[in-house]
Structure 1
Amino acid sequence: MSGPILDLPTPVLDALTPTSRRLVADRRGSTVWEVESPQGHYAVKLGRPVEATAEWDAQPWTALAPAREGAVLHHLGRRDVVYGEWEHGTWNVQPWRSGPDLYRLWEPRRRREAPVEPHVSVAPGCVEALAEVHARGWAHGDVQPAHFIVGPDHVHLIDLALARGGDVPEVYDFPYRGCLVHYEAPEISRSVLATGRAEPTPEADVYALGASLLISATGWRAVEYPDDAPRSVQREAVADGRRRPVKAPGRLGELIDAMLSHDPKDRPTLQEAAEVLN
């Protein structure tokens, strides 16, 4: 249960004076709104803590994530983002990115209702978007298909609350404890299993990009484990390298296979990936 849906904080309402708003995501500890206002078109993210239940531990960090993402985006030169605090946690406001995410874009391809090449042509944009983050000295830490928004002229990489690479205000910071396991590199899963936390790296982001391209193109996860397996079991499978064969077509399949190498040193750099795709 995510709890009752809470309205936008008063400072956000006062600043944006929305003409319309639509709830687009309601997950444990966070909601995302699409807001139209006289000032423009925005995404508003609200964070609140997750209380412990019989199924999961308490997650206080979710309350801090929107402000942490705002601080990261400022490091990356994004002055069109504002963030602050509200009674339940923190919030941020950033420009809305229009377009399908990578997984949704490739859905016709997975059903074999579309040719390969138009979709392969999007992959360089994903590489470029991630490379822009790395070029500024940051690792994203949460690369997944839903975080690549394919606009008409540019692929946007969103959701940087877990990124590492520079200082953020201590009051909004929290340890990195992994991400969605489908896209975790083996070294990240091993570290989380051993210590409860890990350190995102560019090499782990490359693995996650490969896993994102694979599941978007084929519908299959990179690593095999039961759909209802606990996260610890999922991470053990990833750490042990129980990979499925890559069945994506052509040069994209060859690149994904290299990106999913168990050893980080064997994965291509993003520059090498771009050269393969272009």
Structure 2
Amino acid sequence: MSTPTRPRELPPEVLDVVTPHTQRLVLNRRGSTVWHIETEDPETGKTAAYAVKLGYISESHAWTADAPGREAYVLRTLRPEPIHSGEWGQGTWNIQPWHSGPSLYEKWEPYRAPESSALPDAVDALSCAEALSALHRTGWVHGDVQPAHLIMGDPGVTLIDLALARGRSVPERYDFAYRGCLVHYEAPEISRSVLESGTAVPTRESDVYALGASLMISATGWRHVAYPDDAPRDVQRQAIVDGPHRPVTIPGELGQLVNAMLMPSPADRPTAAEACEALCLAL
């Protein structure tokens, strides 16, 4: 395993746009450094929180340098708030509003306790499905659905990290091929395509599979498919292709829905909108 590099400091190009009152390192891995900053909102004069993402070429990936620039473009098609972005000496950067709240995995931690008899909250699951369904209605596919990207805020869930989104055109300068996502949440057809060609095309159906895998691991602590933690990526992907997925032990209607979302054939999975309908009936 490679040693993490020193986190990239905020470059002059970012500091020309914002003057942080505080800054906190959030992430530093594989071609990406993310800072949480607080600064004065120019419109209200009040303190506001932002995420600053810096992309650069990593040991194994070149696309990470362009990811913040690509994400900024996607976000501008979806949200009214200003999204700042640009280039710096090692890649691209963006500044976007910070979304407060625990991730799905963090919020559902009590359900994973060995002594817990509480059932996972179907309202939370509905909020996640609604966020995904809303994204799909815009013509975008997320491509990287995972518990850490489902922020359980107020009044609802925000899907973050949209650098890998597909479905609508992106300027060629910032575009790059899709080479899969975090393997723990890949659908079989995505893993198969990456193994065969090195790339894949994420779909609404693969997003739904990833949401099902996210709900399962957040509720139970178990990945959707068994493979060694330290197995190479191609071994992990082959396990997903070969299947089957682990039994879904979540009780009740939510468990039945998650099982349907994890069907090996994309055509057999519910859409995100259908998942919302099923969850509404279960409430």
Specify if TM > 0.5: yes
Consecutive unaligned residues in structure 2, runs of 5 or more: 42-47
- 1:49 is aligned to 2:47: no
Q: Secondary structure at the match of 2:17?
A: helix
The percentage of counterpart residues that share the same residue type is 59
The one of 99, 102, 114 equivalent to 1:100 is: 102
| 8 Å Cα contact 2:69/2:92 also seen in 1 | yes
| 8 Å Cα contact 1:224/1:242 also seen in 2 | no
Show the counterpart of 1:55.
none
Question: 1:87-132, CA deviations, whole angstroms, 9 ceiling, x for partnerless residues?
Answer: 1110011000000000011111100447225x22211110011111
Tell me, in whole angstroms, the C-alpha distance in 2 between the residues paired with 1:70 and 1:46.
Answer: 12
Tell me, in whole angstroms, the C-alpha distance in 1 between the residues paired with 2:93 and 2:168.
Answer: 20
Q: Which deviates the most, 183-192 or 1-10?
A: 1-10
| 8 Å Cα contact 1:259/1:268 also seen in 2 | yes
Q: Name the amino acid aligned to 2:52.
A: V
TM-score by length of 2: 0.93
Q: Give the deviation of 1:9 after TM superposition.
A: 1.7
The one of 112, 135, 143 equivalent to 1:110 is: 112
Q: Name the amino acid aligned to 1:45.
A: K
Tell me, in whole angstroms, the C-alpha distance in 1 between the residues paired with 2:232 and 2:24.
Answer: 33
Tell me, in whole angstroms, the C-alpha distance in 2 between the residues paired with 1:4 and 1:186.
Answer: 35
Consecutive unaligned residues in structure 1, runs of 5 or more: 52-57
Runs of 4+ in structure 1 deviating by more than 6 angstroms, as ranges, are: none
Q: Name the amino acid aligned to 1:44.
A: V
Alignment of 1:215-234 (within 5 A): 215-234=217-236
| 8 Å Cα contact 1:188/1:204 also seen in 2 | yes
Q: Name the amino acid aligned to 1:43.
A: A
Tell me, in whole angstroms, the C-alpha distance in 2 between the residues paired with 1:141 and 1:87.
Answer: 28
Q: Secondary structure at the match of 2:37?
A: strand
Question: 1:53-91, CA deviations, whole angstroms, 9 ceiling, x for partnerless residues?
Answer: xxxxx3111111000100111222444212110011100
Show the counterpart of 2:199.
197
Show the counterpart of 1:264.
266
| 8 Å Cα contact 2:49/2:98 also seen in 1 | yes
Alignment of 1:129-144 (within 5 A): 129-144=131-146
The one of 158, 167, 172 equivalent to 1:156 is: 158
Q: Give the deviation of 1:228 after TM superposition.
A: 1.3
Q: Give the deviation of 1:171 after TM superposition.
A: 1.2
Show the counterpart of 2:251.
249
Question: 1:166-190, CA deviations, whole angstroms, 9 ceiling, x for partnerless residues?
Answer: 1111111110000011100000011
Question: 1:223-278, CA deviations, whole angstroms, 9 ceiling, x for partnerless residues?
Answer: 11111111101111111123111101211100000000000000011121111111
| 8 Å Cα contact 2:27/2:33 also seen in 1 | yes
Show the counterpart of 1:80.
82
Q: Secondary structure at the match of 1:122?
A: helix
RMSD: 1.2
Show the counterpart of 1:19.
21
